[in-house]
Amino acid sequence: MKQQVFMKWAQQKHLSIPHLLLEHYTKLNINEHELMVLLHIQSLLDAGDAFPTPQTLSERMTLSLDACAEIIGTLVRKRLLSIENKQEEDTGVMYEHCSLEPLWASLIHHLEQESETKVENIKAEKEG
């Protein structure tokens, strides 16, 4: 193996996926194509791309541009992805900004409900 290729490997960034997302996404009504779109978006946001387009996504995926656009639409409707209009402070130029905030809010909401259900089940058991 060439030194040069290894250096590219050792110096690459990594995308950190929370294990709680991997374990619970199906309960948030997310399928694997949708999750992969979310992971690509996270990866592009980390790299400084504030608004990944269906074009960019389809170049990295086996899905067509139309399929990517449709999944983005679905994710916005399911409130897992938000698209906001922002304004650059210096220049006043408007731009679109993509955020996974709704995804994390949904996941936390799910974990809180799950934790409450457990507490209630333990209570019910004790009270018999």
Residue placing its CB nearer to a second copy in the complex, 76 or 100? 100
Question: Is 43 exposed, middle or buried (CB count within 10 Å of its CB: 0-12, 13-18, 19+)?
Answer: middle
3-class SS of residue 95: strand
Least separation in angstroms between residue 48's CB and a second copy is 7
Q: Which of 28, 35, 69, 93 binds a second copy (CB under 8 A)?
A: 35
- Residue 41 near residue 98, CB atoms below 8 Å: yes
Does residue number 31 form part of the binding site for a second copy (CB under 8 A)? yes
Strand-pairing partners, residue 86, are 95
Binding mask 92-121 for a second copy (x = CB under 8 A): -------xxx--xx--x--xx--x------
